[in-house]
Amino acid sequence: MSVLSVDGTHLYGKYKGTLLVATSVDANFQDGLCVISDRHAGIIVAMSDANVGFHEPRAFHRFCVRHMASNLRTHVKNNKMRDRFKAAAYQRQGKKIDEDMRSIGQSCLQSLQYIMDVSFPRWSLFHGAGRRYGICTTNFLETFNNVFKGARFLPIMSLVELTFHRVNKYFNIRRDSSFSRRADGYAYSPKVTSILEKNNGKAEYHTVDVYSRQRGIYQVKTHRGERIGSKGGHKHTVNFNLRTCTCKKPMIFHLPCSHVLAMCLKYSISKEPWVDSFLRSEAYANTYVPQFWHIPCETTWRTYRGPKIIPDESMVRGHGRPKSKRI
């Protein structure tokens, strides 16, 4: 998928510094590249540098909603404004985000001014033109930090070697899983399949009226049914030819919403055109096709004298003094 999350993590121990991490999302959860990061000055400068080449439409820079909300909380010292901003950022309808912004302005003008200093496409899911694939934070990068657990205390060479082996293991597990799923004939990744099943469940309670089969115009009315906590009573227009729905979910998440699935179910129309190619089993498997090659024997590349530290499990437990083997 064309979405990257960028963040930095501090190194501890004798060797200080920051390890910059860039992580992408696979089909398990075509535009130019979308980079999601916090508002660190160094990242903004790099993304804004014309010589680097990360400029629209080649690349789009979006901000992590969680980091922006945290910075807003620090700026105005108000938890409610932080939570209201997060709610606004996740809105998928224009009228709802407008209502949220008015509410923020009426309650705390300072918060509104702080938020408005950043353009809407940088943080709003509704205004993001689907570049994020529904990803609003760098949280998934935090889960990848398990790869670096304990490694930040190691010398640089040992950190690189340990990271190399852990990422190789990470890829091997997912390569086997994705290849097996594709071989078994599954069209989508487990996460995408789960989302589609959930939306199909909602679609069962919708009613569909056709307005023009030739132009692909349908109106879908939602019903509460027996689902606890559901609202119902809304109407949405689906344009099959343009691949749009007034709920905006197909554009944001690149998957068919329950309204589209209801239309497909009633008129026996395939949902395949509504599923982005990045979210299919083929893309899931292709993500992990590249393999890591083994590190050559040290006698073929070692050019320095002195002991080499080989990382083992005792080195990455807890936060005490690292232990090592010397050869």
74, part of any domain: yes
86 and 228 in a single domain? The answer is no
What is the span of the domain harbouring residue 150?
Answer: 145-184+288-326
How far is it, in rounded angstroms, from Cα 320 to Cα 136? 35
In the prediction, which pLDDT does 228 show?
Answer: 57
160 and 307 in a single domain? The answer is yes
Residue finishing a domain among 111, 143, 175: 143
Half-sphere exposure of residue 245, counting CA atoms within 13 Å on the CB side? 26
Cβ(24)–Cβ(167) below 8 Å: no
281, part of any domain: no
In the prediction, which pLDDT does 327 show?
Answer: 41
Tokens linked to 255: 């998957």
How far is it, in rounded angstroms, from Cα 21 to Cα 172? 20
54 and 115 in a single domain? The answer is yes
Residue type, 10: H
125, part of any domain: yes
How far is it, in rounded angstroms, from Cα 138 to Cα 136? 7
Which residue, among 21, 24, 2, 20, has the nearest Cα to 174 in the 3D structure? 24
Which residue, among 278, 262, 281, has the nearest Cα to 185 in the 3D structure? 281
How far is it, in rounded angstroms, from Cα 3 to Cα 24? 6
Cβ(189)–Cβ(246) below 8 Å: no
In the prediction, which pLDDT does 323 show?
Answer: 46
- The residues pairing with 21 across neighbouring beta strands, listed in sequence order, are 7
In the prediction, which pLDDT does 93 show?
Answer: 87
Cβ(315)–Cβ(150) below 8 Å: yes
- Which residues fall within 8 angstroms of residue 230, CB to CB, at 6 or more apart? 202, 205, 224
158 and 121 in a single domain? The answer is no
283, part of any domain: no
- Which residues fall within 8 angstroms of residue 18, CB to CB, at 6 or more apart? 8, 9, 10, 11
215, part of any domain: yes
In the prediction, which pLDDT does 253 show?
Answer: 92
For residue 100, the surrounding DSSP H or E stretch is helix 94-107
294 and 258 in a single domain? The answer is no
Based on the structure, what is the number of domains in the chain? Answer: 3
CA 261 to chain centroid, in Å, comes to 24
How far is it, in rounded angstroms, from Cα 253 to Cα 134? 5
Mean pLDDT by 10 residues, the chain (327 residues): 72 74 68 81 83 78 92 94 95 92 95 94 91 81 66 77 84 91 91 94 94 94 68 87 94 95 95 92 89 70 50 48 44
Residue finishing a domain among 117, 143, 169: 143
Cβ(252)–Cβ(130) below 8 Å: yes
Q: What is the DSSP letter of 24?
A: E
154 and 264 in a single domain? The answer is no
151 and 249 in a single domain? The answer is no
201 and 94 in a single domain? The answer is no
Residue type, 121: P
Torsion of CA 159, 164, 168, 169, to 10 degrees: -20
In the prediction, which pLDDT does 145 show?
Answer: 65
293, part of any domain: yes
